Amino acid sequence: MSERIYFDNAATSWPKPDAVYDAIDRFQREVGVGFGRSTGAKPDQIRQMVLTLRQKLKTLVGASNSDEVIFTFNGTDSLNLAIHGHLRPGDHVITTTAEHNSVLRPLRHLEDRNLIEVSRVTCDDHGRVSAAAIQAELRPSTKLVAVIHTSNVTGASNLIQEIGAVVKESSAMLLVDAAQSVGQQHIDFTKWNVDMLAFPGHKSLFGPLGTGCLIVNEEAQKRLRPIRQGGTGASSHSDENQIIYPDAFEVGNHNVLGLVGLDAGVEFVLNAGIDSVAKKKGMLTEKFVSGISKINNIELVSGTDLENLESGIVSFLTPVLASSEFASVLDHAFQIECRAGHHCAALIHPSIGSSDGCVRFSFGLFNTESEIALAIGAVQSVSSSF
């Protein structure tokens, strides 16, 4: 194993469980066929794997039907499908300033072309919004409420069940960005009244890069339109894209290599159990937070309540160096990989006091207590050297 000390799991998880590497290697060497195109033993094996993976994901997030599970290529792809596929000219959308750019930019794109109107609810100093603040923005023309579950900057989570209850009383659909929560926090798609749930497969689900998912309930399916057209392997005699779930949204060859890895990753998470994943991450994060809190010139941006700690995300400010320089010294002098800057969240920073960006550590299931001790020592050393 390399000497690499990786604390950038909120960007993408590393390492993956061995079962993920094995499954990918085995597929590429021994199977290597596409999904839903050919017939025979190997295509059948892949068809079965994809079917089972949809069921596992459905179970993991509490959805009701595995046909609601659409595979995409990353979290951004899922959010683009939800936003562009759902909205029509004249619609009003509510979102929050805590969102990732993969929500903010598609909305801004449509707004700049005068196709939609957008209300942006300002988050609090941890990156959360209340259900009441969302409710206050609802209009008869509101067709979508797009809310982040767990902030990729602060690690704080919104109370989606409360927001879901409010949105359910309106004519809008609720889109939740679960990029930083799926696989490590409980999600109940049906009970929380979520209509569309978007997430990547390559973070806490341990799939490889190039995997993602959008789950769409029956009500939202009535409005969602594909944003790309092409072959699905079915109804090949017709040049019309038929709206059959989930095929119509998965045109072209699947990233089967990625899905095989994702399947092994999801299986790993289901076997480990969300509670034990959250517990381990919470323990590591708490140790790190308690260590760096004692260091001069380090100001935490993230909260310290249990749920916040279980996200594994800790961001801080330091006056000694620009965040990018701080992270660069950690990398070059200590081989510690973390991330600095604005973290693709353009609008959150004025609320959380990090307008010049912040340093983010994001822990994974495979980090160890000795790595945390090294990280605390490294942060101490850099912050006292400048």
Ligand X SMILES: Cc1ncc(COP(=O)(O)O)c(C=O)c1O
In this chain, which stretch among 46-54, 115-123, 172-180, 219-227 interacts with ligand X, using CB under 6 A? 172-180
**At closest approach, how far in Å is the CB of 240 from ligand X?**
30
In this complex, which beta carbon is closest to ligand X, that of residue 212 or of residue 364? 212
Q: Does 177 bind ligand X (CB under 6 A)?
A: yes
DSSP letter assigned to residue 8: B
Q: Is 126 in the site for ligand X (CB under 6 A)?
A: no
Whole-number minimum distance, CB 74 to ligand X, in Å?
Answer: 3
Asked whether position 106 contacts ligand X by CB under 6 A, the answer is no
Report, in Å, the least distance between residue 4 CB and ligand X.
Answer: 20
69, β-bridge pairs: 215
Torsion of CA 21, 24, 28, 34, to 10 degrees: -170
Give the binding range for ligand X (CB under 6 A) out of 71-79, 213-221, 247-255, 327-335: 71-79
SS3 string, 175-225, reads EEECCCCCCCCCCCCCCCCCCEEEEECCCCCCCCCCCEEEEECHHHHCCCC
Which of 167, 213 has the CB closer to ligand X? 213
Binding string to ligand X for residues 198 to 237, with x set by CB under 6 A, is what? --x-----------x-------------------------
Judged by beta carbon, residue 56 or residue 100, the one nearer ligand X is 100
Q: Which residue's Cβ lies closest to ligand X?
A: 75
- Tell me how far apart the alpha carbons of residues 384 and 197 are, in angstroms, rounded to a whole number: 43
Interface with ligand X by CB under 6 A: which range of 48-56, 157-165, 177-185, 218-226? 177-185
Q: Is the dihedral of CA 32, 200, 108, 352 positive or negative?
A: negative
Q: Is the link from the previous residue into 89 a cis peptide, with omega within 30 of 0?
A: no
Q: Does 323 bind ligand X (CB under 6 A)?
A: no
Residue 148 touches ligand X, criterion: CB under 6 A: yes
CB of residue 177 to ligand X, shortest distance in Å = 5
Rg (CA), the chain: 21
Using alpha carbons only, what angle is made at residue 83 by residues 148 and 133, rounded to the nearest 5 degrees? 40
Helices (H), 131-184: 131-137, 160-168
The answer to whether residue 100 forms part of the interface with ligand X (CB under 6 A) is: yes
Q: Site mask, ligand X, residues 3-32, x = CB under 6 A?
A: -------xx---------------------
Token couple for 212: 């993602």
Q: Are 171 and 191 in contact (CB under 8 A)?
A: no
Which one of the spans 46-54, 175-183, 291-299, 326-334 is the region binding ligand X (CB under 6 A)? 175-183
Report the sign of the C-alpha dihedral through residues 374, 376, 378, 380, in that order.
negative
At closest approach, how far in Å is the CB of 309 from ligand X? 18
For residue 238, the minimal CB distance to ligand X (Å) is 32
- CA distances for 76 relative to 81, 228, 329, angstroms: 9, 15, 30
Sign for the pseudo-dihedral over CA of 339, 355, 137, 143: negative
Which residues within the stretch 72-91 sit at the binding site for ligand X (CB under 6 A)?
A: 74-76
Which residue ranges make up the site for ligand X (CB under 6 A)?
10-11, 74-76, 100, 102, 148, 152, 177, 179-180, 200, 212
